[in-house]
Structure 1
C-alpha cells in the first residue's frame, strides 16, 4: 500500500509541475497581451485627442451606433463634427474618418518617388508617381481571400507595375468600340422588360435586372465572352455571391473580434465566406481557362486578332507573356478584381441614377428630351453622341454625388500627416476618406440632400477640386472611370427612350454600405413602355 501511495504521489508531482509551468506561461502571455492592448488603446487616445467623436461604448466602440448601416447616422455626425471624427471599432482599434475637401486633398495628394527609371525621362503621367500611403490593413486585407492582390489592394512598386500594364485596356480608342456592345446588352434587358410589362404599368425590382445586364456588358467588353447571363439562370449564383461576399467583408471590418483570423475562420461568417469564394473563384477560373483554350486554337486566335480592339484579358495575358514578374497569381487577381469591382460599382451607379430619375420625373423628362434630340429612336448610338448629353451627364454626376458606389477609401499612414487646420496624426494610423460624408457635407454642398443636377452646370464650376470624388483622386484614382461613365450613359439613354419610370411610395429604398453601396431590399420602380 505504501509503495502504491508513493508511486501515485510521484506521478502527481511529476505531472503537476509541467501543468503549473504551462499555466504560468499562459497567464504571462495573457498579461503581456493585455498590457499590449492597453498601451495600444492609450496610444490611440493620445493620437486622436484633437478629434472629438460621438460617445463610445467601452467594449463595442461605435458599433452599435452604426449597427443598422443607416447612412443618415453618418450624415448627422458629419454635420456635428467638422472635418473629421474617430470611429472606434471595439476598445482597441479606431479609424479617423475625414469628409472635408481640404482634408481630402492633403490626404490624397501624398505621393512618393518616381516609380523607377525604366520608363525613360518622360514616363506616362499615370506612372510618374506612386502613393505614399499603402492601402489599409483592414478592408483591403480582408478582401484578399476573395479578390487576391490586384490593383484595388496592391501598394508600392508592384501596384505601379500593374497600373502601367493595365492602363491601355481603358484607352479612349478601346472604349469607343465598346459602345455598340454595351447597347446590345442593354437592349436584351429592355426586350425582357417589354415582355414582362406589355402595355401595362408594372412594378418591377430593377436592381436584379441591372445587375445581370452590367455583368453581361463586363463579360463582353472586358473579356469578349458571350455568356447569355441575362437569359441563362446559371449565373444567378455568381451575382448573389458577389453581394453576399461584400456584405460579409464589411461585417468583418466593423467587428473588432473578427479582425483576428482564427476567430473569423471558426465563425459561421468565416465558413460562409469560404463557400462564397469558391463560387467566385470558379467563375474567374472559367474566364481565364476559356481564353487560354481559345488561344490554343489557331482559328480562334485568328478571330481574336481580327477583333477591332484588344480587350482587358488580351492585355493581361500579353503582360504575363512579356513580363516574367507578372505571375499566374497576378493574372488571377486582376481578373477577379475587375470582375468584382467593375461589375458591382457600375451596377450600383446606374441603379441609383434610375431611382433618382424616377423620384424626380421633371429631370427624367428633360433627359429624355435631350436624348431623343441626339439619338432619335435609339436604333444606333455612338461614342461621339455620348459627349453631347450635357443635361444627362449633370444628372449622372448628381446621382453619383448623392449615392457614390464606393462609400469610402482607406489608407494606413506611412508617415505623419498634418491637415490644413494644424491637427496632425502620426504614422501607422488608418485614415478613412468617407466619400459619402464628403458628398453630403452641408459645409461643402448647399442643401446636400436635394437632387439638383445644376450643381454641375458650367455656371457652377467653382467647387473645391476635392469636393466631388466618386472615383477618388490622385495616383490611385479609378482606372475604369471612363468605362463606367460611358456605360452609364449608354444604359440610361436607351432605357429612357423606351420606358417611363416612377417610384413606388410603399417600397422606399434603403442604402446598405457593403464594399459598394447597395439597396437592402431591391429598387422597385413602376415601368411603363413608351409609345
Structure 2
C-alpha cells in the first residue's frame, strides 16, 4: 500500500514538473504548437538529418528570427538576430553547453568543449599557450610537409587517371596527420594499421547517432539508450575513438619521459605540443590522466574534423570559381615568384586575398552551423526574460546567409572581406565569439592557407557539375548526404 502511495506521489510530482509552464516567459515567444507534456516534439519525430536541417530554416521563415521549441519541460529558444547572438555569446556566465552536448560527453568527457565554470577556466589557461603566435610559427614546417604530401597524393591519383576525387577522405587524412603532429607531437602518416580508418569512421558514426538520439525522445534517457541498438553501436564507436586517442597519449608520454626535457626552459618552450603542456600540467598536479584523455579526444575531434569540413566545402567552391583560383595563384606568384618552395608564416600573412577567400568559405559553410547554451543565470534578450534552465541555440549558418546582412547571400564573393564593408561584428562568427570563442582559430586559418595555396599552385580545380550544391545535414559539424567530387587538372 505504501509503495502505491509513493508511486502516485512521484507520478503527480513528475506531471507537475512537466506541465508547469505558466511562469516561463518563453511561452509568449512564437514557435511550433506546444502540446501537453510532449510540447513540440511531434514536429520533429522521425525526421532525417537533412530534413532536420531544412526544418530549422522552415521554422525561421515561418516564425521569424526568434522562436521557441518546447520538448517535454525543456524550452529551447532559437535565435538568428545578430543583436541576440551578441548578447548570448558575450555573456560571461552563460557559457554552459546545452543538452545535446551531454550526449557526446561519454566520448569527449568534460574537456574544453563541454566543461564549464572553474574547470573550463583552468583548462583554457593550461591550453592557451599552445596556440600562441610564436608557437604557431614553429608548426609551419608540419603544415608545409603535410600540404606537399597531400599534393603528391593528388598528383599520383591524377597520373593514374583518377582526376575526379572524392575530396573529403583525403582532406580528412591531411588534417588528422597535421593535428597529431602539431598538437600531439606524434607522426601518424607512417601508421599502417586500421586504427586511423576506424577512428575516422567512428567520428562520423558518432555524429549520426547523436543526432538520431536527439530527435528520438525516449532515447534521451541514458539507461534506455544503453540498451537500444543505437546505444550499443555508440559504445562500439567509443571503443575505437578512445583506443586511438589512448595510443597517441601513450606514444607521446613515452617520448616525453625518455627525453627528460625541462619544458620550463625557454629554449624548449617554443617546441611544446599541446600534449606536452598537458603532461607538464600533470606533473604539477593540475590535471590527471583522465583529464589529459578528455583534452586529447576533444582536440583530435575539433582539430581535424572541423578544419576538414571547411576545406572540403572550400575546394567545392573554388572548383566552381576559376577566377578566384587565378587570383589566389597570382597572389602566391607575386609573393613567392617562380619558386616552388612553400610560404613562410609571414608570407602566408601577406596573402590578403586568400584570407578573404577563406573568410567567405566559412561564411557560406561554417563548420559548426549552430551553438547551444544552457542558461545558468537569468538574462534579458530585448524585452524577453530568458530564465535559468532554459536553452538557447545560436544559428550561425542561416544568420551568415541573411540577405539584409550579405547582399546576394548565396554567392561566393571573397571581395566582401576586402572592400571594407561595414557590418555588425557578430554577423560573422564561424569560430564563435565572446569568452568561449575557438581557441584554435589562428591555427586553423594558417593550416587552411598553407594547404589551399599549395593546391592552387599545382592544380586547376573544376566541378563535376557546375553550380551543384550538396544536401546538408544536421550533425556535430556541417556535413552532406553525398560525397563532394572535384576534378584536379595539373598546371
Alignment TM-score, normalising by the size of structure 2: 0.91
Counterpart of 1:275 in 2: which secondary structure? helix
Who is 1:75 aligned against? 57
Who is 2:140 aligned against? 179
Who is 1:37 aligned against? 18
Do 2:26 and 2:384's aligned partners in 1 also have CA atoms closer than 8 Å? no
Matched, 1:338 2:316: no
**Alignment partner of 2:77 out of 96, 99, 124:** 96
Matched, 1:396 2:358: yes
Gaps of 5+ in 1: 1-19, 112-131
Who is 1:380 aligned against? 342
Counterpart of 1:49 in 2: which secondary structure? helix
Matched, 1:110 2:72: no
- Residues 524 and 229 (structure 1), Cα distance of their counterparts in 2 relative to 1, 3 Å cut: farther
Do 1:509 and 1:523's aligned partners in 2 also have CA atoms closer than 8 Å? yes
Q: Distance in 2 between matches of 1:97 and 1:521?
A: 28
Do 1:200 and 1:528's aligned partners in 2 also have CA atoms closer than 8 Å? no
**Alignment partner of 1:496 out of 420, 445, 456:** 456
Do 2:146 and 2:178's aligned partners in 1 also have CA atoms closer than 8 Å? yes
Matched, 1:419 2:397: no
Q: Report the CA distance between 1:53 and its aligned residue.
A: 1.7
Do 2:99 and 2:374's aligned partners in 1 also have CA atoms closer than 8 Å? no
Please tell me whether Structure 1 or Structure 2 has the larger radius of gyration of its CA atoms: 1
Q: Report the CA distance between 1:353 and its aligned residue.
A: 0.9
Matched, 1:52 2:12: no
Do 2:256 and 2:276's aligned partners in 1 also have CA atoms closer than 8 Å? no
Q: Report the CA distance between 1:285 and its aligned residue.
A: 0.9
**Alignment partner of 1:475 out of 427, 435, 438:** 435
**Alignment partner of 1:275 out of 236, 261, 269:** 236
Q: Report the CA distance between 1:66 and its aligned residue.
A: 5.5
Who is 2:220 aligned against? 259
Q: Distance in 2 between matches of 1:451 and 1:209?
A: 24
Who is 1:125 aligned against? none
Aligned length: 483
Q: Report the CA distance between 1:339 and its aligned residue.
A: 0.6
**Residue-by-residue CA offset, 1:480-510 (whole Å, 9 max, x unaligned):** 0000000010011101111111222297422
Do 2:49 and 2:211's aligned partners in 1 also have CA atoms closer than 8 Å? no
Who is 1:316 aligned against? 278
**Alignment partner of 1:214 out of 171, 175, 179:** 175
**Residue-by-residue CA offset, 1:298-327 (whole Å, 9 max, x unaligned):** 48999x9879611111111112212x2422
**Residue-by-residue CA offset, 1:207-235 (whole Å, 9 max, x unaligned):** 01101111001111111211116876541
Aligned positions of 1:62-461 closer than 5 A: 62-64=43-45, 67-70=48-51, 71-89=53-71, 91-111=72-92, 132-198=93-159, 202-228=163-189, 234-298=195-259, 309-322=271-284, 324-375=285-336, 376-420=338-382, 422-460=383-421
Who is 1:523 aligned against? 484
Q: Distance in 1 between matches of 2:459 and 2:432?
A: 32
Counterpart of 2:176 in 1: which secondary structure? helix
Do 2:472 and 2:478's aligned partners in 1 also have CA atoms closer than 8 Å? yes
For the aligned residue pairs, the C-alpha RMSD in angstroms reads: 2.6
Q: Report the CA distance between 1:258 and its aligned residue.
A: 1.9
Q: Distance in 2 between matches of 1:231 and 1:368?
A: 35
- Residues 425 and 308 (structure 1), Cα distance of their counterparts in 2 relative to 1, 3 Å cut: closer
- Residues 87 and 67 (structure 1), Cα distance of their counterparts in 2 relative to 1, 3 Å cut: farther
> Which segment is superposed worse, 240-249 or 484-493?
240-249
Counterpart of 2:224 in 1: which secondary structure? helix
Q: Report the CA distance between 1:21 and its aligned residue.
A: 5.7
Q: Report the CA distance between 1:22 and its aligned residue.
A: 4.8
Gaps of 5+ in 2: none
**Residue-by-residue CA offset, 1:354-395 (whole Å, 9 max, x unaligned):** 111112222222222222322344422200111111111111
Q: Distance in 1 between matches of 2:33 and 2:335?
A: 54
Alignment TM-score, normalising by the size of structure 1: 0.85
Do 2:364 and 2:401's aligned partners in 1 also have CA atoms closer than 8 Å? yes
